[in-house]
Every structure is written in C-alpha cells, then in structure tokens.
Amino acid sequence: MPKIVNKQEMREKLLYAALECYYAKGYRNTTMSDIAKTAGVAKGTTYLYFDSKDQLTESLLEMFLCRFEQQTSVIPTCQSLEEFIEVLGNILQVDETQKKYTRIFFDIYGPSFSEAGFTRRLENLYKKFAQLLHRHLKQLQLKEEISPELDTQVLSEVISSFLDGIVLHQCLFDGRTANEKTIKETTLQLLVGGLLKPKSTVLTN
C-alpha cells in the first residue's frame, strides 16, 4: 500500500506555501521549486496536485474568494439602521492579514484583470455582496428607518463599491493623515446621512 495522504490537506498546504512565497518574493520571482520547498516537498510533487503554476494560482484565488463569500454570507439580517451600520463598520475594519493579501492580490492577479472571465468572477462576488446589502436596505425601508425615496437596488451597488474603495485605500496606503478609526466613523456618518435624508434638491442632472 502506498503512502496514505489527505489530498485536500496537501493541496491546502501547497496553496499556503504559494501564498507565503508570493508574499515574500512576489509572484513572478516565485518558482514552483520555491513553493515546493516551502511546503517541504519535492518540485515534482507539486504537479501531483496542480497541473501548472497557473492552475495552482487560480486555485489560490478560488480559495480566497470562497473565504470572502463565506464571511459576508454569515451576516445576520439587521433589525435596525444602527445594527446595519455596525455590520458595515465591521467590514471597514481591516486587519494586517487583509492588508498583506490585498497587495499580493494585485501582484498575482494583475494580468488577469485583462481577462473577461476573471473580472466577471470578481464582479459576481461584489454582486452577491450588493444583493445582501439590498436585502438589508429593503428591510430598513419597510421599517421606515431609511428614506423611502431611495432606489435600494442601485444604492446597494453604490455602497458596495463605496466600501470597497475605502477598504482598498485602507489596505494599500499606510501613511494616511487620518487614522483608521476616524476614517471608519466618517464613512459611516456619510452613509447614514445619505440614507436618512430625503432626496436632495441640489441635484439637477
């Protein structure tokens, strides 16, 4: 009988090794040898679990995105605007790990941004997130916690992009004037203000 190995475990081990390497040396400077060595196996072994470097990297993306989806899918339905804002606040709270990974993300998947498949995959992710927000917003509108005039559908997409912008800058830029807590609070204020207020008369367009 041959060695008994947990295939899934080995795959994960290799994926984490890849991540480690990508973070340490960058995607382009990481060889399959590096990944194997980091995982403590031989170069050839890598190819028992992944067809190619590309496929391995794609699997890594899948792992990431699944993780993200799971994170957002566990958000409970909010009973009040206050609760909703708290949920958004949690999303704005980025930790060091997320920062690290955000940077690698562009390193690794930069070239994929030119591919329709990749951006579609990413788009779907944000779409799902927007749908989640949408459900919450409709709830709040029913409960008259937010302005009835808002188009919650579109709004959910806008907020999704909004949060992404904030989080992205949070992850990428270290030396900001304002600290993260202040940024977060101001962001939420801006949001609450926008959600509560009836349609402004300023807009003519």
When asked if residue 26 is in the footprint of DNA (CB under 7 A), the reply is no
Cα–Cα distance between 90 and 116 in angstroms, integer? Answer: 31
Tell me, by CB under 7 A, how many residues bind DNA.
Answer: 25
Nearer to its own copies, 12 or 194 (CB): 194
- Taking CB under 7 A as the rule, which mask of x and - marks residues 28-47 in contact with DNA? xxxxxx-------xxxxx-x
199 binds, among DNA, its own copies, none (CB under 5 to 8 A by kind): its own copies
Site size with its own copies, rule: CB under 8 A: 77
Interatomic CA distance for residues 62 and 43, integer angstroms: 23
162-191 binders of its own copies (CB under 8 A): 162-166, 168-170, 172-178, 182-183, 185-191
Cα distance between residue 182 and residue 185, in whole Å: 5
Angle (nearest 5°) at CA 32 between 29 and 34 = 65
Contact 121, 86 (CB under 8 A): no
Instruction: Show the tokens assigned to 53.
Output: 């470097």
Residues that bind DNA (CB under 7 A): 1-5, 7, 10, 28-33, 41-45, 47-49, 51-54
